[in-house]
């Protein structure tokens, strides 16, 4: 069945399709998370029930906890397999460890098992005493090895990891804290790890695709992070001449307003407001801003 839509204008049509996209975001019409990701695109993951239209990664901790509780009930009720539940729990444990490493990189544990490749990894870093390094750094190095030597071989990246990044990470981690018992029994619930053989072998794996570049950082105007309105930007020579011309041509109107405006920044703002209004008399917003200035002076 098709619906015939009659739009009153191009603008009407545009705003309609914009609204339609909000309720039907995925290419196939299926709902997607839509959060902005590091490469600048919309997150394509499926929203979780608890997450107000966001996926598990973007819904936040409260929704993620509720999601886990629901999965737990599903596992206990036999609706999902033990393998699926264990995989999810292992991932959660690894995420938790990664979080704890942010405050203490010396906590024992690892989040990756290189399996057969572990021997090759040890050979590749044979000059390093792995046991003397912070476990967080060794874990990072294993992931780098997997990424640059197994999944997508890139010797330049691996070389950089070994010669530059490794040293920096070791320095950032600082020396091993003293007086803490790191023996294994305290960490009985050590996270399960991902094994190389388990993942990355399916044909649909994104690991076979090249890395997508990250989006450039969004550059906001000066004053964006400060509370309140952004500061008035100084005028360059051309703009200053322009504003002076506006001033000379409208001295009678401006006299009172300019004397009420304290400081050069405020006076610049007044002149800019009048210039914008004169340039676009039909612009409602520009007109409103100018009238606000005039009224503010008359109230005094």
Task: Give the binding site for Zn ion (CB under 5 A).
Answer: 33, 35, 43, 45, 55, 57-58
- Which residue in 191, 188, 189 sits closest to 87, CA to CA? 191
For the chain, the distance separating the N- and C-terminal CA atoms, rounded to the nearest angstrom, is 65
Own/partner long-range contacts of 219-228 (Cβ < 8 Å, ≥24 apart): none
Cβ of residue 160: shortest distance to Zn ion, in angstroms?
30
Cβ of residue 32: shortest distance to Zn ion, in angstroms?
8
Count of CB atoms within 10 A of residue 283's CB? 13
- d(C-alpha 113, C-alpha 189), whole Å: 17
CB closer to Zn ion, 58 vs 146: 58
Those residues whose C-beta lies under 8 Å from the C-beta of residue 279, and which sit 6 or more positions away, are 286
CB closer to Zn ion, 53 vs 232: 53
Enumerate the β-bridge partners of residue 113: 195
CB closer to Zn ion, 70 vs 168: 70
Cβ of residue 67: shortest distance to Zn ion, in angstroms?
13
CB closer to Zn ion, 35 vs 93: 35
- d(C-alpha 107, C-alpha 221), whole Å: 41
Helix residue spans in 234-283 (DSSP H)? 237-249, 251-260, 264-279
Cβ of residue 22: shortest distance to Zn ion, in angstroms?
16
CB closer to Zn ion, 24 vs 120: 24
Q: Sign of torsion, CA 159 160 166 171?
A: positive
Cβ of residue 27: shortest distance to Zn ion, in angstroms?
15
Count of CB atoms within 10 A of residue 18's CB? 9
- Which residue in 202, 225, 297 sits closest to 254, CA to CA? 297
CB closer to Zn ion, 26 vs 234: 26
Cβ of residue 63: shortest distance to Zn ion, in angstroms?
11
CB closer to Zn ion, 28 vs 201: 28
Cβ of residue 277: shortest distance to Zn ion, in angstroms?
44
């Amino acid at each position: 069945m098709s619906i015939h839509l009659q739009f009153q204008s191009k603008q009407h049509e545009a705003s309609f399709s914009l609204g339609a996209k909000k309720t039907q975001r995925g290419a196939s019409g299926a709902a997607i998370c839509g959060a902005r990701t590091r490469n600048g695109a919309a997150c394509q993951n499926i929203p979780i029930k608890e997450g107000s239209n966001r996926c598990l990664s973007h819904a936040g901790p409260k929704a993620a906890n509720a999601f886990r509780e629901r999965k737990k009930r599903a596992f206990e009720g036999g609706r999902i397999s033990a393998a699926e539940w264990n995989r999810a729990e292992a991932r959660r444990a690894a995420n938790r460890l990664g979080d704890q490493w942010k405050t203490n990189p010396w906590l024992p544990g690892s989040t990756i098992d290189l399996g057969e490749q572990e021997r090759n990894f040890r050979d590749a870093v044979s000059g390093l005493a792995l046991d003397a390094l912070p476990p967080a750094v060794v874990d990072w190095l294993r992931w780098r090895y997997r990424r640059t030597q197994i999944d997508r071989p890139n010797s330049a990246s691996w070389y950089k990891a070994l010669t530059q990044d490794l040293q920096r990470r070791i320095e950032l981690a600082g020396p091993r804290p003293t007086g803490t018992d790191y023996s294994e029994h305290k960490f009985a619930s050590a996270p399960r790890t991902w094994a190389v053989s388990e993942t990355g072998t399916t044909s649909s794996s994104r690991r076979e695709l090249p890395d997508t570049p990250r989006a450039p950082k969004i550059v906001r105007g000066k004053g964006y992070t400060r509370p309140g309105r952004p500061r008035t930007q100084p005028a360059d020579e051309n703009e200053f001449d322009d504003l002076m011309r506006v001033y000379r041509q409208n001295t009678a109107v401006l006299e009172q307003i300019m004397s009420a405006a304290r400081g050069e920044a405020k006076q610049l703002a007044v002149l800019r407001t009048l210039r914008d209004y004169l340039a676009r008399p039909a612009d409602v917003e520009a007109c409103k801003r100018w009238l606000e200035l005039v009224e503010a002076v008359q109230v005094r």
